Structure 1
Amino acid sequence: MRIRVPRRALAVPVLGVTIASNEKEKLPIYPQPEPQVVVLDEPSELERQIGSVRRMVTGAYKDTHAKVQSVISRWIGVEHAVESRVKSLLDPSEEITLGLLYTTIATLSTSIVTRSRSLPIRFILPPTAFLVSFSYFLPKTTANISDYNTELEERYFPTLAEKHAIARAHSGMLVERIKEGTASGREQMGKGVGKSVDWMQGVTGLKIRETLGWNEVTSKSVTSEVEKLLERDRENVQGFAKDVADGVKGRTGAAAETVEEMAETDKGLFSRWGKSQASSSSSENPVVKAREIVGDVVDGTVDRSKAAASEVSRLAETDKKLAKEFVGDVAKETEARSKAAAEEIGKMAQTDKERAKETKEDAKKEVKKLV
């Protein structure tokens, strides 16, 4: 049995294979882009070692630079702290240059004077002279330095600071006792001299006290005491007046604030009441009338509150004026009395001085007669 196939059917696959092979071998119409060539740079072993060393050196340099910058920043902070501390210790009201110059001169002079003395004196006196002269020429700066030293001792050496505080307390008590003893001794000596002068004056009949001018000194001291008392009274009166004025002002402000708060509260209540009435029946005429009444009441309340506040302010101003006038009158009366007392004391001193002068002239005449 034989199968017959048309020639046309056998020719189709052969034609397809031929066309496909021709399409693969066919050149493109447009130019193709050149392929990109990538060159890989592979470093050598020497280059890798050099790069590693360079990175290590760069890192070490950066670390060193950071540490140096940190040290510089700390040093700048220390400089600023020292500068601020020195400025806080130095008192601006004192002449630092002149004080240090005088202190240096005193210390060097003491060192020159004590150079031929014994060794302990040569070591002890110059620092002592420095401390004494520094505290004399720069007292406020010395006090600031002493306070700072005490603060450092209390912070780092509390036991030593406590001992120093006890020593300072005992030395202060000793100084006060010495001052009291000196003052009492001077007073006793003055009393003894006064008694001797009174005895001589009673025996000889001469006015020795007036001749020495002791009455004048007494009158001057009394006058100064009177002036001090006058100044103290004046300060007390001014303080009293200031307290009174501040109290009146505070009360006035509180009263005004209270009145304003009451007015605002009444106004809010009336407005809310009017709004509620209006929302309940807005078409009725009595509501409108009620709202008008509420507005009138609110306005009246506000007016009364303002009037009350102005009245309170007026009363406060009146009280302030009265207090000022009262204080001024008291101060004037006190000053007048003090001046009168001072004038009386001055007259007494002048009279005593004239009497002492006359007594002195009489004594000279008596001496001339005896001679």
Structure 2
Amino acid sequence: MAFQPLLRQHVIPLAALTTGFVVLPKTSAHADQPIADPIREIRIRKPIYDAPSIPSVREIAATTPPPASGITDKPQDEPSATTPRRPSPTDRLANELKRGRLLLHRWAVRSEDAVNGGMDRFMSAEHNFTSTIASLAPPKESNEKLLPGGIYVLVAAMAGSIISRNRNILIRFVTPIITGVTTANYVVPRTTQNVGNLVWDYEKRFPVVADNHVRISQGVRHFLETGKAHSQMGLAMAEERVQGVTEAVQDWVKKGR
């Protein structure tokens, strides 16, 4: 019993000494040595209780996914080009409208070209007609007048038709033409020549008609030249006979004296 109080007196100071060695700092601090960075020492000092750390605003923004609306400063990843995209009803409607507009424009252009071509042909035909009629008119220095000359030609053709009224159909067809052409060559020769040249230009497009025209004109010209030669020969013979008769009468008159 007397031993226990003695043991207690020696054990308690020994425990206090052991605890002092445990909590004794390993680095010695001097009173005149200042702390290098007191703020850093405060920051790295651990709290007494392990409280959960609060994330910063940057960490929250980095871990938050982009909004569903797609409005963000970060560029969105473009879809892969290899992924086929089915056309939407709006795209199909746009394609149909485009095809319709192109078809309508093509038909409008064709219609406009057709109208322009028709007007060009009409204007060309009108120009050819007016230029042809103008080319048939006689020049001013010829002093030909178409109004009385045309009436004379028409009257001559009607007279030829009346003369050949009781003949066969060939004579009734040819006689007015001959009388009209003859009168035209006498009354309006320059106009008749222009009409003949125009007819010849049209006949050259058909070789058969042109050959027949040449053959007929040559036959008529040969007939006229032959008739002219015979008439000149008959006139010369008549003049020779008249001269012979005149000389005979003169001789007879001389002998009678």
TM-score norm. by structure 2 comes to: 0.54
Partner of 1:99: 149
Structure 2 equivalent of residue 354 of structure 1: none
Alpha-carbon spacing, 1:178–1:126, altered in 2? closer, same or farther (3 Å): closer
Counterparts of 1:310-329 in structure 2, within 5 Å, are: none
- Determine which of 2, 5, 9 is the counterpart of 2:40: 9
**Where do residues 53-64 of structure 1 align in structure 2 (5 Å cutoff)?**
53-64=100-111
1:195 and 2:244 correspond = yes
Instruction: Report deviation, 1:164.
Output: 4.3
Q: Deviations over 1:193-227 (max 9, x none)?
A: 12212222222349xxxxxxxxxxxxxxxxxxxxx
Q: Counterpart of 1:141? A: 191
- Report the identity percentage: 20
- C-alpha distance in structure 2 between counterparts of 1:73 and 1:185, whole Å: 62
Q: Per-residue deviation at 1:147? A: 3.0
CA distance in 2, matches of 1:59, 1:178: 71
Map 1:234-253 to 2 at 5 A: none
- Equivalent runs, 1:253-292 vs 2, <5 Å: none
CA deviation digits over 1:19-47, x for unaligned, max 9? x859x99xxxxxxxxx9xxxxxx969778
User: For residues 62 and 108 of structure 1, what CA distance do their matches in structure 2 show?
Assistant: 55
User: Is 1:183 aligned with 2:214?
Assistant: no
Equivalent residue for 2:181?
Answer: 131
> Cα gap change, 1:12/1:184 in structure 2, threshold over 3 Å: closer, same or farther?
farther
Give the superposed CA RMSD.
Answer: 4.3
Deviations 1:225-277 (A, max 9, x none): xxxxxxxxxxxxxxxxxxxxxxxxxxxxxxxxxxxxxxxxxxxxxxxxxxxxx
Deviation at 1:122, TM superposition (A): 3.9
CA distance in 2, matches of 1:174, 1:125: 16
- Are residues 184 and 10 of structure 1, via their aligned partners in 2, closer, same or farther at CA, if it must alter by over 3 Å? farther
Moved more, 130-139 or 61-70: 130-139
1:145 is matched by which residue type in structure 2?
A: V
Give, in whole Å, the separation in 1 of the partners of 2:224 and 2:163. Answer: 29
* Residue ranges of structure 1 left out of the alignment (5+ in a row): 26-34, 36-41, 207-371
Give the SS at the match of 1:91.
coil
Offset, 1:141: 2.0
- Tell me, in whole angstroms, the C-alpha distance in 1 between the residues paired with 2:98 and 2:123: 37
Superposition deviation, residue 178 in structure 1: 2.3
**CA separation of 1:71 and 1:102: change in aligned 2, threshold 3 A:** same
Shift of residue 80 of structure 1? 1.4
CA distance in 2 between counterparts of 1:167 and 1:2 reads 151
Distance 1:110 1:2 in 2: 160
- In the superposition, relative to structure 1, how do residues 138 and 11 fare at CA in structure 2: closer, same or farther (>3 Å)? farther
Are residues 172 and 116 of structure 1, via their aligned partners in 2, closer, same or farther at CA, if it must alter by over 3 Å? closer
Distance of aligned partners of 1:58 and 1:101 in 2 relative to their CA distance in 1, 3 Å threshold: farther
Q: 1:140 to 1:115 in 2, by over 3 A?
A: same
Match of 2:138, SS state, is coil
> Which deviates more from structure 2 when the two are superposed, residues 67-76 or residues 102-111?
102-111
Q: Give SS of 1:145's match.
A: helix
Cα distance, 1:118–1:187 mapped onto 2, change above 3 Å = closer
Q: State the distance in 1 between where 2:104 and 2:125 align.
A: 31
What is the CA–CA distance in structure 2 between the aligned matches of 1:170 and 1:178, rounded to whole Å?
12
Provide the residue aligned with 1:271 in structure 2.
none
Matches of 1:151 and 1:160, distance apart in 2: 11
Distance of 1:168 and 1:132 partners within structure 2: 14
CA gap of 1:150–1:73, structure 2 versus 1, over 3 A, is same
**Per-residue displacement from partner, 1:336-360 (whole Å, max 9, x unpaired)?**
xxxxxxxxxxxxxxxxxxxxxxxxx
Q: 1:161 and 1:127, CA in 2 relative to 1: closer, same or farther beyond 3 A?
A: closer
Amino acid at match of 2:247: D
Deviation at 1:76, TM superposition (A): 0.9
Q: Which has the higher contact order (CA 8 A, sep 6+)?
A: 1
The answer to whether structure 1 residue 76 and structure 2 residue 123 are counterparts is: yes
Structure-1 separation of matches of 2:170 and 2:230: 32
Shift in Å, 1:119: 4.2
Give the drift of 1:112. 5.2
Higher helix share: 1
- Correspondence 1:17-96 to 2 at 5 A: 21=57, 49=96, 52-92=99-139, 93=142, 94-96=144-146
State the shift of 1:7 in Å. Answer: 4.2
SS in structure 1 of the partner of residue 133 of structure 2:
helix
What count of residue pairs does the alignment treat as equivalent?
A: 185
